[in-house]
């Protein structure tokens, strides 16, 4: 007791700053003790959750397999299936168990157990991640009926929500689902474009709608996405629009367009590109020469020779490759006259490959 009194008196006679420091230290000490206790609880909880997760995953997998094999008609629910549905309905009320089932469910089962209502309810949430997870579920379980609700989210300010809504439309409505591009004002990221293209390529029906309006979109990312569609689905018909895009104000679009024309091996395109060559960016010039590698002929020789001394390595490489293809004698002349180290190296490389 005397000790306590001594320390109390000692504390109160300390300068204010030291008192504050001791007070904060005391608080930190209590915080550390609390955190240590909580850490122990948290780690046990996480380990426990993993065990439960494995147990329920196994159990639900078995139930689902039984469910799938118990049905004799696709449209009818058998007695055994009904019993399993009732069992699972009880589990659905538990959020943790619900999450486990979701990974394994099938559409009919999804509807019957009422899980679909949980997903639809999520669409009305205020938090973006809840909305996005709702859309994702509805996509996984192919709930086409939610179309009118989900289409509203295509222009959602949150990128993930937008992305999920777009994936829903394309996953369930295939090429028709791309109609959201007609009025899309927000940018379609490269990541989203890749995802959409991958989904589209999985369908048996590869009949692509008219991409002309999208190639003329004011949204640059929509134009870039349409260019990818044009290339993947060999849309030669849009060639004239591609020529127009060669003078688009956006450099990336101009470059992408040259790449598509290169893929089409379009001989006409050089007539559009040559006159503007000097004014175009270096990247465009490089792409143009890559295009010429596939389409150049004798009549391009003068233009090719003009660029033998181009400062860019890739253009030099293209120039010499083309020259060798269209006029070997001229190529040999350049080879003999070459003083530029890069040209010498490139010539050596071309000759040995």
Interface ranges with another protein (CB under 8 A)? 14-15, 17-18, 21-22, 24-25, 28-29, 31-32, 35-36, 39-40, 42-43, 46-47, 50, 129, 132-133, 136, 159-160, 163-164, 187, 189-195, 197-199, 221, 228, 232, 313-314, 317, 345-346, 349, 352-353
Closer CB to another protein, residue 81 or residue 224? 224
Closer CB to another protein, residue 163 or residue 257? 163
CA distance 151 to 154: 6
Closer CB to another protein, residue 63 or residue 257? 257
Beta carbons of 131 and 123 less than 8 angstroms apart: yes
The set of long-range contacts for 234-238, using a CB threshold of 8 Å and a minimum separation of 24, is 234/264, 235/208, 235/211, 236/264, 238/211, 238/212
Q: DSSP labels for 127-172? A: SHHHHHHHHHHHHHTT-GGGHHHHGGGGG-SSHHHHHHHHHHHHHH
| Cα distances (Å, whole numbers) of residue 310 to 133, 250, 279, 325, 326 | 53, 25, 14, 19, 19
At closest approach, how far in Å is the CB of 159 from another protein?
Answer: 7
At closest approach, how far in Å is the CB of 173 from another protein?
Answer: 18
At closest approach, how far in Å is the CB of 35 from another protein?
Answer: 5
- Listed in sequence order, the residues at least 6 apart from 340 whose beta carbon sits closer than 8 Å to its beta carbon are 309, 316
Q: DSSP labels for 95-133? A: HHHHHHHHTT--HHHHHHTTHHHHHHHHTT-SSHHHHHH
Closer CB to another protein, residue 88 or residue 172? 172
- Listed in sequence order, the residues at least 6 apart from 109 whose beta carbon sits closer than 8 Å to its beta carbon are 64, 67, 85, 88
At closest approach, how far in Å is the CB of 198 from another protein?
Answer: 4
At closest approach, how far in Å is the CB of 349 from another protein?
Answer: 4
Closer CB to another protein, residue 54 or residue 65? 54
At closest approach, how far in Å is the CB of 86 from another protein?
Answer: 30
Closer CB to another protein, residue 84 or residue 123? 123
Closer CB to another protein, residue 132 or residue 319? 132
At closest approach, how far in Å is the CB of 277 from another protein?
Answer: 21
Closer CB to another protein, residue 50 or residue 297? 50
Beta carbons of 226 and 259 less than 8 angstroms apart: no
At closest approach, how far in Å is the CB of 291 from another protein?
Answer: 18
At closest approach, how far in Å is the CB of 149 from another protein?
Answer: 18
- Listed in sequence order, the residues at least 6 apart from 114 whose beta carbon sits closer than 8 Å to its beta carbon are 89, 92
Tell me which residue of 262, 254, 181, 251 sits closest to 214, measured CA to CA. Answer: 181
Closer CB to another protein, residue 96 or residue 191? 191
Closer CB to another protein, residue 163 or residue 269? 163
Beta carbons of 297 and 291 less than 8 angstroms apart: no
Q: What region does 115 belong to: left with phi over 0, alpha with psi -120 to 50, or beta?
A: alpha
At closest approach, how far in Å is the CB of 34 from another protein?
Answer: 10
């Amino acid at each position: 007791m005397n000790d306590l009194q001594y320390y109390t008196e000692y504390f109160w006679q300390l300068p204010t700053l030291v008192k504050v420091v001791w007070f904060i230290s005391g608080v930190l000490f209590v915080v550390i003790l609390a955190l240590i206790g909580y850490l122990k609880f948290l780690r046990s909880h996480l380990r426990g959750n993993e065990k439960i997760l494995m147990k329920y995953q196994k159990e639900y997998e078995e139930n689902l397999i039984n469910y799938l094999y118990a049905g004799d008609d696709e449209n009818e629910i058998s007695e055994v299936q009904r019993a399993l549905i009732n069992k699972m309905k009880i589990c659905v009320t538990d959020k943790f168990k619900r999450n486990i089932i979701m990974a394994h469910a099938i559409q009919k089962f999804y509807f019957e157990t009422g899980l679909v209502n949980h997903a639809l309810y999520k669409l009305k949430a205020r938090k973006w991640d809840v909305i996005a997870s709702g859309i994702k579920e509805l996509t996984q379980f192919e709930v086409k009926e939610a179309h009118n609700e989900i289409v509203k989210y295509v222009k959602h300010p949150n990128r993930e929500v937008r992305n999920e809504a777009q994936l829903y439309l394309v996953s369930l409505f295939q090429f028709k689902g791309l109609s959201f591009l007609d009025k899309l004002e927000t940018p379609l990221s490269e990541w989203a474009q890749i995802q959409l293209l991958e989904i589209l390529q999985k369908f048996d029906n590869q009949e692509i709608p008219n991409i002309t309006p999208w190639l003329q979109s004011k949204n640059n990312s929509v134009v870039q996405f349409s260019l990818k569609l044009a290339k993947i689905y060999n849309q030669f018909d849009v060639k004239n629009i591609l020529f127009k895009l060669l003078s688009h104000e956006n450099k990336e679009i101009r470059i992408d367009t040259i790449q598509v024309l290169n893929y089409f091996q379009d001989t006409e395109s050089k007539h559009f590109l040559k006159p503007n060559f000097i004014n175009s960016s270096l990247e465009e010039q490089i792409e143009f020469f890559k295009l010429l590698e596939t389409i150049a002929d004798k009549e391009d020789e003068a233009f090719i020779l003009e660029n033998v001394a181009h400062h860019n390595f890739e253009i030099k490489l293209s120039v010499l490759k083309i020259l060798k293809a269209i006029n070997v004698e001229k190529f040999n002349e350049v080879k003999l006259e070459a003083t530029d180290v890069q040209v010498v190296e490139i010539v050596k490389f071309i000759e040995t490959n």
